[in-house]
Structure 1
Amino acid sequence: MTRVDFAFGAPERLRKACEVVRKHYEAGRPLQIYLSDTRLLHRFDRLLWGFEPNAFIPHVFIDDPVAQDTPVLLTHQAPKPQTPDTWLVNLDDHCPPGFEQFSRILEIVSERETDRQTARERWRLYQAAQCELHSHDLRGR
């Protein structure tokens, strides 16, 4: 069964995603980041390189020749786990195609109403697929 963790209340979704990716990279966890909008995915790629002066997160696009040796992969295509312990970070407005192949999915939701609304839709789809759902409030309330 796939476990999906929604983190609600991020002041800025992509910035919080960088922090989440760093945390899991430092824990030694392989990750894939899915975002179907290639322009936004390239923006996230640049943000990962420079969101903090001392943060280093080795990452490449999934079709890069060194992808098999890189712990964090970016993709705009249907994600597929590289290893059984690969987690998926979904930055898209929709559920990723083939999400049930992953044991764990992380969803980061900003405070913007449109972001919260699309997250609610994803929650319902994951629920209908009988995923194990968890909600976390990033605002500390």
Structure 2
Amino acid sequence: MSRVDFAFGAPNRLRTACEVVRKHYSAGRRLVVYTQDRQRLERFDHLLWGFDPTAFVPHVMTDDPLAAQTPVQLTAATPVVAAENSQSVWLINLDLSCPPGYEHFDRILEIVSDHEEDKLAARERWLQYKASGHALHAHKLG
């Protein structure tokens, strides 16, 4: 079963996700960032380039020819990880619903803002993960 970590209370969900991605990239971890909302994914992509003037987080879309060599991949399609890499690649969900295929990842990170729509959607994801038997952990940001 996957471990799912919910970080509640993000002042800005995408900016907090950038900081989380930078932290895990700096620790040498490989990440897949998912949302089916292409506009949100595009905003996140642009934000990742400029959220901190001194930060550099190499990232590409999963269909990019350099995806296999790039530690952070972004996708609006079903997130996929090779079976031999499932323990070393973490999934960050920026969607309002559970990502398709999430059960193939050992770790899933959920970032939740204080916006009502985001909190309600997170509660639904929590219940879905719980019903599937995954280990859930809640963290309060700030």
Secondary structure at 1:49's aligned position in 2? helix
**CA displacement, residues 86-120 of structure 1 (integer Å, 9 cap, x when unaligned):** 00000000000011000000000001111100000
Contact map agreement 1:81 1:87 (CA 8 A) in 2? no
Which residue in the other structure is 1:134 paired with? Answer: 137
Which residue in the other structure is 2:8 paired with? Answer: 8
For the aligned residue pairs, the C-alpha RMSD in angstroms reads 0.6
Which residue in the other structure is 2:18 paired with? Answer: 18
> What count of residue pairs does the alignment treat as equivalent?
139
The 2-side partners of 1:37 and 1:54 are apart by 28
Residue identity opposite 2:119 in structure 1: R
The 2-side partners of 1:122 and 1:50 are apart by 30
The 2-side partners of 1:117 and 1:39 are apart by 21
**CA displacement, residues 18-65 of structure 1 (integer Å, 9 cap, x when unaligned):** 000000000000000001011110110000000000000000000000
2:103 pairs with one of 77, 100, 111: 100
**CA displacement, residues 54-81 of structure 1 (integer Å, 9 cap, x when unaligned):** 0000000000000000000000000012
Q: Structure 1 length normalisation: TM-score?
A: 0.97
Runs (4+) off by over 4 Å: none
Please, which runs of 5 or more residues in structure 2 have no aligned partner?
none
Residue identity opposite 2:26 in structure 1: E
Question: 1:20-59 residue pairs with structure 2 within 5 A?
Answer: 20-59=20-59
The 1-side partners of 2:29 and 2:111 are apart by 17
Q: Structure 2 length normalisation: TM-score?
A: 0.96
Q: Post-superposition shift, 1:12?
A: 0.4
1:88 pairs with one of 88, 91, 95: 91
